[in-house]
Amino acid sequence: MKKPIIINSLTVQYDDNKVIDDFSYTIEPGRCYAVMGASGIGKTSLINAIMGLIPYTGTISCDEDFKISAVFQEDRLCEGMSASRNIKIVCDSKEQISRIPGLMSDFGLSDCVSRKVRNLSGGMKRRVAIIRALLSSHDLLIMDEPFKGLDETTRLAVMHSVRKETPEDTILMITHDISEAEFFNAEIINL
């Protein structure tokens, strides 16, 4: 990402309910941001607006060729495909594909490479979704509660792996856990 993302007077409304009202913010390249706030306050609506998935008023300005990769609240994997195939479908280059085995090992998934996603546990699926987002070409990495459903040991290991893989990435992460925001040295956006 070369230029900042400038959010100006963003409003998201569902029927008569304004979940985000006149929100403005600048997301600088190479920084990590943690969106925090109570449930239902509009955190997911904010990232969905940035991704262009929901209607909004106001403006979101960024580079024309801007690419986003995302870890959604739901894993959104192809259940009938293998874990490695789910990751491979977002890869643009042989270099990215060649990184799949190493990342799967780093994320504790070496024995899952060929297993169909439908046969993986929830925590395993979550890790596959994170690896897929990391390997998808992006200017902005959006993660919506990326570490939910992981036991504490796995969560810490995955957080270390994500941080290792994203030293200069622009990251927008939703979390309810201040320790996750602190771990990534994230600037906190309170909604």
72-116, pLDDT tens digit by residue? 999 999 999 999 999 999 999 999 999 999 999 999 999 999 999
Q: In one letter, which amino acid is 106?
A: D
Burial class (CB in 10 A: 0-12, 13-18, 19+), 93: exposed
pTM: 0.94
58 in Cβ contact with 11 (< 8 Å):
yes
Rounded Cα gap, residues 97 and 85, in angstroms = 10
- pLDDT exceeds cutoff 70 at 18: yes
The full set of domains in the chain, from first to last, is: 5-190 (3.40.50.300)
Mean pLDDT of 170-180: 97
Confidence band, pLDDT 50/70/90 cuts, at residue 1: low
The confidence score (pLDDT) of residue 2 equals 80
- pLDDT exceeds cutoff 90 at 64: no
Mean per-residue pLDDT of the chain = 95
List, in order, residues 6 or more apart from 135 with CB less than 8 Å away.
Answer: 87, 90, 91, 96, 99, 100, 103
Rounded Cα gap, residues 153 and 131, in angstroms = 18
The confidence score (pLDDT) of residue 58 equals 98
pLDDT tens digit sequence for 2-11: 899 999 999 9
The confidence score (pLDDT) of residue 125 equals 97
Mean pLDDT of 157-174: 96
The confidence score (pLDDT) of residue 42 equals 95
Pick the closest to residue 142 from 70, 80, 84 (CA basis).
70
Confidence band, pLDDT 50/70/90 cuts, at residue 63: confident
Q: Which one-letter DSSP state was computed for residue 165?
A: H
